[in-house]
């Protein structure tokens, strides 16, 4: 496994702005391919939200991990987006918002039949 360079906050913000633009474009595009793409994004977000919840379940055994994770702006917004409890009170001002909380939550994953 190769070590990839990590994204700093500015790079993450840029990627999320691009994602928002692409989602907006998909939402204004009609047809089955656009619908499928939006469903795929929503389903992926749902699965990743479950992954975050499982990480936090396991992290409960490590005092301080939840507050450390919730102190990261990107993680705090992902936890809020997916409704993952961190054991920390919600911040009244979470700082620079990377993700509008409705970006991925605005489209629920469809109930396509799983194999």
Average pLDDT score over residue span 24-41: 92
Give a yes or no: residue 103 inside a domain: no
Give a yes or no: residue 110 inside a domain: no
> Is-contact 106 85, C-beta < 8 A?
no
Domain span at residue 14 reads: 10-82
pLDDT band at 53 (very low <50, low <70, confident <90, very high): very high
Domain count, the chain: 1
Give a yes or no: residue 88 inside a domain: no
CB count within 10 Å of CB 104 equals 23
Give a yes or no: residue 44 inside a domain: yes
> Is-contact 42 104, C-beta < 8 A?
yes
Give a yes or no: residue 94 inside a domain: no
- CA-CA distances (angstroms) from residue 47 to 6, 62, 92? 22, 24, 27
- CA-CA distances (angstroms) from residue 30 to 21, 63, 104? 16, 48, 18
Q: What are phi and psi of 7, to 5 degrees?
A: -90, 130
pLDDT above 90 covers what percent of the chain?
A: 28
Give a yes or no: residue 3 inside a domain: no
- Could you tell me which residues come within 8 angstroms of residue 14 by beta carbon, excluding any fewer than 6 positions away? none
| pLDDT single digits (tens) 84-106 | 888 776 554 444 455 555 555 55
Tokens representing 72?
């990261």
The answer to whether residue 70 scores a pLDDT higher than 50 is: yes
pLDDT band at 34 (very low <50, low <70, confident <90, very high): very high
């Amino acid at each position: 496994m190769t070590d990839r360079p990590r994204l700093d906050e500015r790079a993450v913000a840029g990627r999320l702005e691009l994602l928002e633009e692409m989602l907006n474009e998909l939402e204004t595009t009609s047809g089955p391919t656009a619908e499928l793409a939006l469903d795929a994004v929503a389903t992926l977000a749902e699965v990743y939200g479950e992954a975050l919840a499982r990480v936090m379940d396991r992290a409960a055994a490590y005092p301080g991990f939840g507050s450390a994770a919730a102190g990261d702006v990107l993680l705090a917004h992902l936890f809020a987006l997916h409704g993952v409890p961190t054991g920390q009170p919600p911040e009244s001002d979470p700082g620079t918002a990377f993700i509008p909380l409705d970006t991925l939550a605005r489209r629920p994953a469809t109930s396509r039949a799983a194999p």
